[in-house]
């Protein structure tokens, strides 16, 4: 079913298939985020997920799917879900069926479970004990953030790894239990990767400019990963020790080419980068928002410890609020309109003063679907910075849905602040 | 692979399998939202998705997967993705392979495409023309929001429906093209459904109380759909005309039992409900936020037209900001702490006054992971309402991750406002 089926020329060491288990995924209650997380984590090791299936809480169905993968020669099947305590969690049973072994109660797991239940003051019932039942001979993958361990079933060099479906547990076990083992399985096909996160340059322009760089691509693969906040560049290198220097040279050449258009490396977010810059420089921040309605502040405060630098925000949605809370002159709004460079600047200055912050950011725009005009269409957004003796604004035109206009305005406002904080004069 | 395989007792008229196509889903660039949307839309008709697969942009792989489903007797295969103009969009080719027909250029589609390209001022190239190539004899499903039509391939009463992967296009074609046809295919097995959205009652308690109601469940199925904002109750009725009265009676009995714990019907969101209540009552709203950092305001302003009632918000993250912007007495913060009922009330009163609004909402809490204590642990949140001569606060304890504490606080604050606005005295 996958692209790899037809060609024997792939040099990848391992073939991988992901299977998610749970009725809640098939009836629309829950969105599956584990596939994407696993794909990115494995991708960083140079491994691809060849295909993915979602199946219900069905013991025979899970077994059949696994048998099919073993017959197909899949090296790694990554199972997600069905390891909880209730009767519809049947992944353990399906694995035991497949391996032809019994489920036995693991004493160590049982004791950890009993202790955990005692600590949170809940009765350790027969249902809860089910999580200590493991297929005989299976390896355990410790669960640092939950109750049920992950399972690692290996036969003739092929592996079925079963992880809990709860995203935090899935991610922790993948990172701490699966990836190191895969690194060992891959052996001499060791891979290293770097991800450079860019904002402000379209994918096609990135590709054009990278094509013009003198980079030795031997053993290195480049992928473009666009998302609403920009485009990530992922470099994956496969080979021996000599690959290290080549990968570092490629990364350096790209980083030099794009300069401050690269806002970070790996999984770091723009709000974390901004937060670190503010903390390093000992600066406090205030925000004034209109069309984004709190989204800039909500993002900044997602970061634990953001109270170190974030003073607060003012969402001046009504024009009157812009006057009362930010001191924007009513005459200025009347003359230039609430969505104007001048009002954006006045909002930033006002937020800075009212909140007693070192620097401030402001956003005002027309998110639609109503409220646009020929002169000021839906998607017109002004973002402004104020700090020290400096204040400036930038005009954006982002024609899209209301949600996307707000999302992109939020990210580009944060990026404006980042660039200013990173600039030598900033 | 699915729950239906083992039992022949299901009375559902149609078996459904969903397949998503695209390398971007398998490498973690894009999250698949089409599965969840289709599952909920079909679920409302009483149809279940038995299983789901994600496969890459691979012509042979798509054909193999479809052949397998036809061999398995699947009534409807819902394909998503691979209908775009570029060379890696190969769903059209795979369908033609499967049906043993040629791809022919459809004149009507071609003309629509050319006109659309002319309107947006882009060159209508050979690549773009690919979207007019359709498998011979296939039915088209009009695409009201995009370029490529959906495809409906029917053989011996079984159907493969291929839709674009772009969520807005997938959703529009599913709603306007697929669901009506499925209604006809289901024939006498007509279904009707209602969804009641509840907040504030755990799923187990909902189930207990519903079990105690005198409801004739003949032909009616009840599903509990929990999510971070509460639990949705979905009633799906299958049968003839007589089912209508029974469904209405069941809905009325449940609605009466839970009263204001039901905040809406269908897909309506809590911020839409709150917005409609404010507009109907001619009231304006101000918000003061600490731990939610702008999330309450961001949600309220997601709703188009929210400027009719939302004056603005103050994100008083630092204590000093609570004093300066909201007029919360420093002595009160010193005596009671920033996370206290008294400060929540003062924040709500302050936001109302500063923004000149009729009613105000405030949230203050400890989202963690740091900042908790024995007395005031992570997860402690106070929400407050102020309006008219009335002001009150509620204490919540929501031990969870930082993200979840913030999300639940946001929703429960909006729900507090809704209940107050719905109350006879409100």
Task: Give the ipTM of the model, two decimals please.
Answer: 0.83
Phi and psi torsions of A302, nearest 5° = -65, -30
Longest dimension (CA), chain A: 80
Question: Cβ–Cβ of A58/B1 closer than 8 Å?
Answer: yes
Q: Show the 3-state SS of A238-304.
A: ECCCCHHHHHHHHHHHHHHHHHHHEEEECCCCHHHHHHHHHHHHCCCEEEEECCCCCHHHHHHCCCC
Rounded to whole angstroms, how far apart are CA atoms B20 and B16?
13
pLDDT band at B106 (very low <50, low <70, confident <90, very high): very high
pLDDT of residue A10: 33
pLDDT of residue B400: 84
Q: What is the mean pLDDT of residues B304-324?
A: 95
Query: B322 and B396 in contact (C-beta within 8 Å)?
Result: no
Rounded to whole angstroms, how far apart are CA atoms A1 and B57?
10
Q: What is the mean pLDDT of residues A203-215?
A: 91
Cβ–Cβ contact A114 with B under 8 A: no
Question: Cβ–Cβ of A324/B300 closer than 8 Å?
Answer: no
Of B30, B305, B307, the CB nearest to A318: B307
pLDDT at residue A339 is higher than 50 = yes
CB atoms within 10 A of CB B108: 10
Question: Cβ–Cβ of A223/B27 closer than 8 Å?
Answer: yes
Interface of A with B in 383-422 (CB under 8 A): 401-403, 406
Helices (H) and strands (E) counted in chain A, each on its own, are 16, 17
Q: Which residue in this structure is represented by tokens 């507009």?
A: B279
Question: Cβ–Cβ of A58/B2 closer than 8 Å?
Answer: yes
Of B1, B28, B369, the CB nearest to A55: B1
pLDDT at residue A52 is higher than 90 = yes
pLDDT at residue A357 is higher than 80 = yes
| Helices marked H in A4-83 | 23-26, 34-43, 59-71
pLDDT of residue A239: 79
Which segment, A165-169, A230-234, B42-46, B349-353, is predicted with the most confidence on average? B349-353
Query: CA of B240 to nearest chain A CA: how many angstroms apart?
Result: 24
Which segment, A76-90, A341-355, B106-120, is predicted with the most confidence on average? A341-355
Nearest CA in chain A to B326: A325
How do residues B227-258 score in pLDDT, each as one tens digit? 777 889 989 888 777 888 999 999 999 999 99
Helix axes B243-258, B203-211, angle to 10 degrees: 120
Query: CA of B92 to nearest chain A CA: how many angstroms apart?
Result: 16
CA dihedral over A251, A252, A255, A257, signed as positive or negative:
negative
pLDDT of residue B6: 32
Of B1, B64, B223, the CB nearest to A64: B1
Cβ–Cβ contact B222 with A under 8 A: no
Rounded to whole angstroms, how far apart are CA atoms B44 and A376?
41
Query: B264 and B197 in contact (C-beta within 8 Å)?
Result: yes
Question: Cβ–Cβ of A31/B33 closer than 8 Å?
Answer: yes
pLDDT of residue B125: 79
> In Å, what is the CA distance from B205 to each residue of A30, B199, B210?
21, 12, 8
How do residues A88-126 score in pLDDT, each as one tens digit? 889 999 999 999 999 999 999 999 889 888 877 778 877
Q: Which residue in this structure is represented by tokens 């399906």?
A: A94
Query: CA of A31 to nearest chain B CA: how many angstroms apart?
Result: 6
pLDDT of residue B190: 62
Which residues from chain B sit within 8 angstroms of residue A369, using beta carbons?
304
> In Å, what is the CA distance from B22 to each residue of A97, A194, B56, B169?
33, 24, 5, 16
Cβ–Cβ contact B372 with A under 8 A: no
pLDDT of residue B328: 97
pLDDT of residue B239: 79
Interface of B with A in 35-94 (CB under 8 A): 35-40, 43, 48-58, 60-61, 64-65
pLDDT of residue B44: 85
Task: Report helix, strand or coil for A153.
Answer: strand
Closest residue by Cα to residue B6 from A90, A193, A16: A90
Task: Please list, in sequence order, all residues whose beta carbon lies within 8 angstroms of the beta carbon of residue A25, skipping any fewer than 6 positions away.
Answer: A31, A32, A54, A81, B35, B52
> In Å, what is the CA distance from B117 to each residue of A385, B125, B145?
38, 9, 14
Which residues from chain B sit within 8 angstroms of residue A362, using beta carbons?
none
Question: Cβ–Cβ of A369/B223 closer than 8 Å?
Answer: no
Query: CA of B421 to nearest chain A CA: how many angstroms apart?
Result: 22
Query: A289 and A295 in contact (C-beta within 8 Å)?
Result: yes
Which residues from chain A sit within 8 angstroms of residue B318, using beta carbons?
307, 310-312, 355
How do residues A305-336 score in pLDDT, each as one tens digit? 999 999 999 999 999 999 999 999 999 999 99
Nearest CA in chain A to B38: A28
Query: CA of B77 to nearest chain A CA: how many angstroms apart?
Result: 14
Nearest CA in chain A to B29: A225
Rounded to whole angstroms, how far apart are CA atoms A308 and A355?
14
pLDDT band at A193 (very low <50, low <70, confident <90, very high): confident
How do residues B20-42 score in pLDDT, each as one tens digit? 999 989 988 889 999 999 999 99
Q: What is the mean pLDDT of residues A29-45?
A: 91
Query: CA of B239 to nearest chain A CA: how many angstroms apart?
Result: 21
Query: CA of B216 to nearest chain A CA: how many angstroms apart?
Result: 24
Question: Cβ–Cβ of B312/A314 closer than 8 Å?
Answer: yes
Question: Cβ–Cβ of A317/B310 closer than 8 Å?
Answer: yes
> In Å, what is the CA distance from B320 to each residue of B53, B232, B297, B344?
53, 41, 21, 15
User: For chain B, what is the mean pLDDT?
Assistant: 90
The torsion of the CA quartet A274, A279, A283, A285, rounded to 10 degrees, works out to 50
Question: Cβ–Cβ of B311/A298 closer than 8 Å?
Answer: no
Q: What is the mean pLDDT of residues A271-284?
A: 98
Rounded to whole angstroms, how far apart are CA atoms A306 and B260?
37
Share of chain A above pLDDT 70, in %: 95
CA-angle at B21, arms to B16 and B25, nearest 5°:
115
pLDDT band at B189 (very low <50, low <70, confident <90, very high): low
Q: What is the value of pTM for the model shown?
A: 0.84
Rg (CA), chain B: 26
Structure-block tokens of residue B91: 């769903």
User: For chain A, what is the mean pLDDT?
Assistant: 90
Strand partners, A18: A52, A78
How do residues A362-408 score in pLDDT, each as one tens digit? 999 999 999 999 999 999 999 999 998 999 999 999 888 899 899 99
Which residues from chain A sit within 8 angstroms of residue B301, using beta carbons?
291-294, 315, 317, 406
Structure-block tokens of residue A288: 């004034």
Closest residue by Cα to residue B74 from B50, B101, B54: B50
How do residues A6-18 score in pLDDT, each as one tens digit? 333 334 468 999 9
Nearest CA in chain A to B36: A28
Question: Cβ–Cβ of B298/A293 closer than 8 Å?
Answer: yes
Phi and psi torsions of A69, nearest 5° = -70, -40
Which residues from chain B sit within 8 angstroms of residue A307, using beta carbons?
317-318
Query: CA of A281 to nearest chain B CA: how many angstroms apart?
Result: 19
Which residues from chain B sit within 8 angstroms of residue A370, using beta carbons?
304-305
How do residues B320-376 score in pLDDT, each as one tens digit? 999 999 999 999 999 999 999 999 999 999 999 999 999 999 999 999 999 999 999
Of A27, A292, A402, the CB nearest to B39: A27
Q: Which residues of A377-400 are buried (b: 16+ CB within 10 A; e: fewer)?
A: ebbbbbbbbbbeeebebeebebee
Question: Cβ–Cβ of B307/A317 closer than 8 Å?
Answer: yes
Which residues from chain A sit within 8 angstroms of residue B168, using beta carbons?
401
Question: Cβ–Cβ of A28/B39 closer than 8 Å?
Answer: yes
Of B53, B226, B307, the CB nearest to A51: B53
Question: Quick one: DSSP state of residue A340?
Answer: S
Residue scoring higher pLDDT (B189 or A129) = A129
Which residues from chain A sit within 8 angstroms of residue B325, using beta carbons?
312, 314, 325, 354-355
Query: B9 and A62 in contact (C-beta within 8 Å)?
Result: no
Query: CA of A301 to nearest chain B CA: how many angstroms apart?
Result: 6
Name which of B30, B81, B321 to mutate to probe chain A: the one with the most chain A Cβ atoms within 10 A of its Cβ.
B321
Rounded to whole angstroms, how far apart are CA atoms A314 and B227?
30
Which residues from chain B sit within 8 angstroms of residue A403, using beta carbons?
302
Which residues from chain B sit within 8 angstroms of residue A227, using beta carbons?
29
Residue scoring higher pLDDT (A199 or A225) = A199
Q: What is the mean pLDDT of residues A163-179?
A: 94
pLDDT of residue B92: 95
Order the strands of the A150-155 sheet from edge to edge: A139-141, A150-155, A158-163, A76-80, A16-21, A49-55, B49-55, B16-21, B76-80, B158-163, B150-155, B139-141
Rounded to whole angstroms, how far apart are CA atoms A113 and A122?
11
Question: Cβ–Cβ of A1/B64 closer than 8 Å?
Answer: yes
Share of chain B above pLDDT 90, in %: 71
Question: Quick one: DSSP state of residue A188?
Answer: T
Number of inter-chain CB pairs under 8 A, A vs B: 263
Helices (H) and strands (E) counted in chain B, each on its own, are 16, 17
pLDDT of residue B10: 32
Question: Cβ–Cβ of B297/A315 closer than 8 Å?
Answer: yes
């Amino acid at each position: 079913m996958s692209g790899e089926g037809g060609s024997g020329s792939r040099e990848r060491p391992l073939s991988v298939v992901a299977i998610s288990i749970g009725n809640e995924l098939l009836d629309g209650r829950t969105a599956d985020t584990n596939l994407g997380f696993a794909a990115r984590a494995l991708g960083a090791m140079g491994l691809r997920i060849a295909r993915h299936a979602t199946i219900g809480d069905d013991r025979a169905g899970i077994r059949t799917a696994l048998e099919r993968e073993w017959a197909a020669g899949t090296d790694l099947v990554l199972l997600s879900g069905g390891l909880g305590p209730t009767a519809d969690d049947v992944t353990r049973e399906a694995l035991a069926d497949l391996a032809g072994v019994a489920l036995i109660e693991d004493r160590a797991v049982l004791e950890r479970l009993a202790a955990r239940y005692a600590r949170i003051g809940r009765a350790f019932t027969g249902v809860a004990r089910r999580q200590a039942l493991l297929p005989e001979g299976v390896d355990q993958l410790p669960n640092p953030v939950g109750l049920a361990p992950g399972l690692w079933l290996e036969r003739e060099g092929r592996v079925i790894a079963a992880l809990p479906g709860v995203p935090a547990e899935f991610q922790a076990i993948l990172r701490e239990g699966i990836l190191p083992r895969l690194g060992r399985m891959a052996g001499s096909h060791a891979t290293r990767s770097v991800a450079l996160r860019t904002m402000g340059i379209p994918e096609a322009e990135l590709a054009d400019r990278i094509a013009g760089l003198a980079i030795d691509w031997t053993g290195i693969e480049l992928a473009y990963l666009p998302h609403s906040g920009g485009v990530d560049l992922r470099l994956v290198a496969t080979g021996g020790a000599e690959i290290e220097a080549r990968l570092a040279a490629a990364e350096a050449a790209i980083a030099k080419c794009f300069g401050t258009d690269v806002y970070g490396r790996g999984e770091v977010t723009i709000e974390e980068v901004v937060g670190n810059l503010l903390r390093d420089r000992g600066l406090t921040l205030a925000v004034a928002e209109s069309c984004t309605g709190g989204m800039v502040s909500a993002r900044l405060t997602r970061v634990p410890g953001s109270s170190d630098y974030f003073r607060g925000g003012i969402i001046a949605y009504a024009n009157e609020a812009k006057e009362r809370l930010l001191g924007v002159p009513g005459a200025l709004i009347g003359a230039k309109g609430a969505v104007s460079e001048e009002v954006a600047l006045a909002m930033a200055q006002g937020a800075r003063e009212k909140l007693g912050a070192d620097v401030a950011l402001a956003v005002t725009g027309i998110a639609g679907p109503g409220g646009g005009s020929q002169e000021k269409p839906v998607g017109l957004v002004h973002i402004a910075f104020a700090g020290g003796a400096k204040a400036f604004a930038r005009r954006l035109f982002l024609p899209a849905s209301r949600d996307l206009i707000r999302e992109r305005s939020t990210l580009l406002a944060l990026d404006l602040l980042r660039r200013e904080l990173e600039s030598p004069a900033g």
